[in-house]
Structure 1
């Protein structure tokens, strides 16, 4: 957790001010018992009413000053801890945004959400408590010991005898609770994962009547977390009774031996009263610190998880220097490309070589798992190749900055993703400064204008989270419009026409031809009707190229393509 405190650097002067305020508060509280002892020994015993009023008034001023500095310290502590949490969340989020898909696969989205929310909240709360409780408890404990010794050094031996007992109790409780706190964070991850899957997949769950199964799955994860939380809280619940028991026995011992000291004339009544208060301050300081030990183990586990994210360097980084591109815009070249997913036994694609020129439409077709989508994901560097090269405009994509590379690309993913906002907002996701005319033109080409105008407020109609208020085909057309509005050099369509009927598919491809005549277009598709008019068709089988050519050429030369065509088209359509 100490490693995360480097993010408190912007607040170092504020923290110094907080420490000064807490010091003043501690001094005021340590001074009050001495004033009370003076009232008893010099005012009450000697029946000096004026002295009682004088010292009593001074006590009120000291108490009022202590309240003021306490409020100020609490305010600034809360402000610093909140700012620290905000800064930490921003750092984690911006760092995660740089992750490649490999890092996302490693951590999992559910865990990353938990680390950015729950874990940072734990650290933020402990930071505030450390600024207030730990620092004050430490000052009060040290100050209380000094003041108690100044009142009566021999009676202070009672406190010395109590300290090891408290330390042993705290150690036993913490040694049992820390592993459980660490386990709790992992189980929160699991619960978050089950909950997200259950909510995101609610349609599939209902369609297959798996509601009861998902309920039991959630109950298992929830019950596992609850069981661990109950166990750790049972352990922590013993702390307060143990502390209070030690505190009460300490008070009895102080009064007992203090009475003997008064009887022997070595101590006055007021000093004993002050000594009891200092002893209580010391004990309560230790109690406050022990309560912090309840929070610190869990926060430490959270801090380790946050630190793991921040210390994970993305596998895909920008090169120190980028080369200058040649005059060709939109040229894609694959040269002996091989790629294997992390942990996979076999490469997803092997020794792939082809070119896509500007103004050409290249289609990729093949069976499930043949590597079609993988090829597309390698172009914008969602993953990096293991061998070979992918060049854009003559430059290896690894020599281009990720921002420059992706600014050349209009990507339509296999699973259409929409964001909360309006229809226009979702289309402008491809180009922030797109005019209304550009947005409408992109929608026209994507064959989306018709259904948009039927929506309540047209382009200003709201899209719900995940686009649940539009159909699958409508999502795909909006995703295509989002790519079109940025007018990129390269279009990548990852099976982006699968939810469209054949008529809309044909109209869309015809519109795309005229719209993208100066750009390279790479289409992954399952339907032969979608790819048969392409300038070049690449047939993949088991991650390797089984054939390249036009539709008629492949019908004559590629057995894999012949099988795909015969499974989708009748003999009359093939002829």
Structure 2
């Protein structure tokens, strides 16, 4: 974990080295000031030497100025190094997430990734700044003060040693107890973020079913869990202050008692006693700072491990050496393909799939809920890799292609349509960032989207809200189809992408495809047989296997499942499953 995180310091290494250097310089200046104060009292005030007082005073002012400058510079470079480190961690995580395949993404929850990139990174940033500043300053101050105290009077300095051991033991016990709570609290943060994300994403459903009170109670439960964990941890940390105060006052009493006796016996001067009391505060404040550092580091260990998980996760779909950068045509072959999300054979989603699809063909895909229709088409653009067998596009195994090349030639309109905040044109140009306005309008005419865009006040410059919340489901589907067409792909996959479109518009889209992009291989997953009955061939999926493959007429004559679906839809139910479920 440490190696993974430290690799992200990068250009902030110099700032990370300057910070502790300035901190040590500040400590050195602070350490010598009490000695100068003792000299002023013993050699200036008591002897009436005003020249000595002025001289030592001037040196103290210079040392204080140097210490102040060092403290300011340490703070400046510490802030720069920690903020830069946090920036690099966020960038590295985000960049790594962009390389993830679907199977990599499946390992993390959305809420968990958000927590890692916000709360966890902030914890690491705070801890790193404290390590650079306090973790160098506190031990250096402690060691220097102890050395000076022993140099002045070894007997009285023994009081410091006892206080250090006592306070160190108490702080160690507190930190050990709080670690368990801080390890738990971030899992509770994930639950909190998940609650917020689900509620905001599904706010329309929440209001439609009048479930605001239920969602509020869910959030309160998640928030209360975080609250309880922090209260337990902070309650233990709160013991720092009274233990610290007790130790400080005990030390002051002990030193004052022993120092007074030594002054009476002339073995200690008044100035030296004053210096010892100052070093007492330095030593105990250093311990207090160290305790704060350890608490923050303890808090950040859990965060660091979670960040390292994301950074160490490597994409399981990578480009091969000498990858092919040209897809010859839109032909597709499945050769003894088996696939499982968990990789174990007994959990296979697809089993022994054998299909040959010629370039330019229109293929319909139909099947019941959970029959693995989407899993089948996801293998074509290599969103997942097969477990067994191979998938070929243009006569070549998809694993031999450059991923960007392959996915530019295989446009997929996913089952869950997503639009981003921005204008309609900006959304369309996700398909081709260099597409002209005319090309965007042509793609929208093919997808039957132009007709509703022209009725909007700003037409193609109309702003789309986040998630496409200001357009209907059918409009969103047509915009997503147009976006895919702008890629000018050799293969177009429509994964139930016209389910929210009326049958007349669905027919217009299919007719436009047949006339305008005849050379593109089209795979259409549909709920309605009317959407695919004119396809060149139809695949009937059942329980992860191909149950039938042929034309509409062939399947009506030979495939019982297809015949039952056709009969139920023509009879008026319009659903694949007997219980009215989704196809």
Question: TM-score band (shorter)?
Answer: over 0.9
Question: Which residue of the partner structure matches residue 51 of structure 1?
Answer: 52
Q: Deviations over 1:406-451 (max 9, x none)?
A: 1211110111101111111100011111112211111121111122
Question: Which residue of the partner structure matches residue 513 of structure 1?
Answer: 514
Alpha-carbon distance in 2 for matches of 1:103, 1:7: 22
Alpha-carbon distance in 2 for matches of 1:237, 1:267: 37
Alpha-carbon distance in 1 for matches of 2:452, 2:47: 95
Alpha-carbon distance in 2 for matches of 1:114, 1:569: 50
Alignment of 1:103-182 (within 5 A): 103-182=104-183
Alpha-carbon distance in 1 for matches of 2:479, 2:190: 33
Alpha-carbon distance in 1 for matches of 2:374, 2:8: 40
Alpha-carbon distance in 2 for matches of 1:488, 1:502: 25
Q: Relative to structure 2, which stretch is displaced further, 176-185 or 111-120? A: 111-120
Alpha-carbon distance in 1 for matches of 2:213, 2:13: 53
Alpha-carbon distance in 2 for matches of 1:324, 1:424: 28
What runs of 5+ residues in structure 2 fail to find an aligned partner?
A: 575-583
Q: Relative to structure 2, which stretch is displaced further, 196-205 or 224-233? A: 196-205
Q: Deviations over 1:163-194 (max 9, x none)?
A: 21111101110111001000001110111112
Aligned to 1:107, the other structure's residue is in SS state: coil
Work out whether 1:332 is the aligned partner of 2:332.
yes
Alpha-carbon distance in 1 for matches of 2:131, 2:454: 57
Contact 1:525 1:531 in 2 (8 A): yes
- TM-score, with structure 1 as normaliser: 0.96
Contact 2:325 2:402 in 1 (8 A): no
Question: Which residue of the partner structure matches residue 578 of structure 2?
Answer: none
State the Cα distance separating 1:563 from its structure 2 match.
0.8
Aligned to 1:330, the other structure's residue is in SS state: coil
Alpha-carbon distance in 2 for matches of 1:459, 1:76: 48
Work out whether 1:281 is the aligned partner of 2:288.
no
State the Cα distance separating 1:343 from its structure 2 match.
7.5
Work out whether 1:548 is the aligned partner of 2:549.
yes
State the Cα distance separating 1:50 from its structure 2 match.
2.6
Alpha-carbon distance in 1 for matches of 2:436, 2:495: 27
Contact 1:102 1:342 in 2 (8 A): no
Q: Relative to structure 2, which stretch is displaced further, 336-345 or 240-249? A: 336-345
Alpha-carbon distance in 1 for matches of 2:402, 2:412: 17
Structure 2 vs 1, CA of residues 2 and 386 (structure 1 numbering), >3 Å: closer, same or farther?
A: closer
Work out whether 1:375 is the aligned partner of 2:376.
yes
State the Cα distance separating 1:212 from its structure 2 match.
2.2
Alpha-carbon distance in 2 for matches of 1:313, 1:556: 49
Alignment of 1:455-470 (within 5 A): 455-470=456-471
Alpha-carbon distance in 1 for matches of 2:380, 2:361: 17
Aligned to 2:316, the other structure's residue is in SS state: coil
Alpha-carbon distance in 2 for matches of 1:497, 1:358: 23
Alpha-carbon distance in 2 for matches of 1:296, 1:338: 47
Question: Which residue of the partner structure matches residue 389 of structure 1?
Answer: 390
Question: Which residue of the partner structure matches residue 290 of structure 1?
Answer: 291
Alpha-carbon distance in 2 for matches of 1:155, 1:424: 79
Alpha-carbon distance in 2 for matches of 1:261, 1:460: 87
State the Cα distance separating 1:570 from its structure 2 match.
4.5
Work out whether 1:8 is the aligned partner of 2:9.
yes
Q: Relative to structure 2, which stretch is displaced further, 311-320 or 237-246? A: 311-320
Alignment of 1:428-439 (within 5 A): 428-439=429-440
State the Cα distance separating 1:304 from its structure 2 match.
0.8
Alpha-carbon distance in 1 for matches of 2:74, 2:97: 34
Structure 2 vs 1, CA of residues 324 and 43 (structure 1 numbering), >3 Å: closer, same or farther?
A: closer
Question: Which residue of the partner structure matches residue 424 of structure 2?
Answer: 423
Work out whether 1:207 is the aligned partner of 2:211.
no
Contact 2:496 2:525 in 1 (8 A): yes
Question: Which residue of the partner structure matches residue 30 of structure 2?
Answer: 29
Question: Which residue of the partner structure matches residue 579 of structure 2?
Answer: none
Contact 1:180 1:232 in 2 (8 A): yes
Alignment of 1:173-572 (within 5 A): 173-322=174-323, 328-342=328-342, 345-570=346-571
Contact 1:493 1:522 in 2 (8 A): yes
Aligned to 2:7, the other structure's residue is in SS state: helix
Structure 2 vs 1, CA of residues 517 and 470 (structure 1 numbering), >3 Å: closer, same or farther?
A: same
Aligned to 1:338, the other structure's residue is in SS state: strand
State the Cα distance separating 1:482 from its structure 2 match.
0.7
Alpha-carbon distance in 2 for matches of 1:178, 1:199: 33
Aligned to 2:229, the other structure's residue is in SS state: helix
Alpha-carbon distance in 1 for matches of 2:75, 2:38: 29
Contact 2:188 2:226 in 1 (8 A): yes
State the Cα distance separating 1:91 from its structure 2 match.
0.9
Alpha-carbon distance in 1 for matches of 2:43, 2:571: 113
- TM-score, with structure 2 as normaliser: 0.95
Contact 1:379 1:397 in 2 (8 A): yes
Alpha-carbon distance in 2 for matches of 1:204, 1:538: 34
Alpha-carbon distance in 1 for matches of 2:15, 2:233: 35
Aligned to 2:9, the other structure's residue is in SS state: helix
Q: Deviations over 1:453-512 (max 9, x none)?
A: 222322111111111011101110110111011101111110001010111111111112
Alpha-carbon distance in 1 for matches of 2:323, 2:124: 40
State the Cα distance separating 1:314 from its structure 2 match.
2.6
Q: Relative to structure 2, which stretch is displaced further, 429-438 or 45-54? A: 45-54
Aligned to 2:107, the other structure's residue is in SS state: helix
Alpha-carbon distance in 1 for matches of 2:414, 2:543: 22
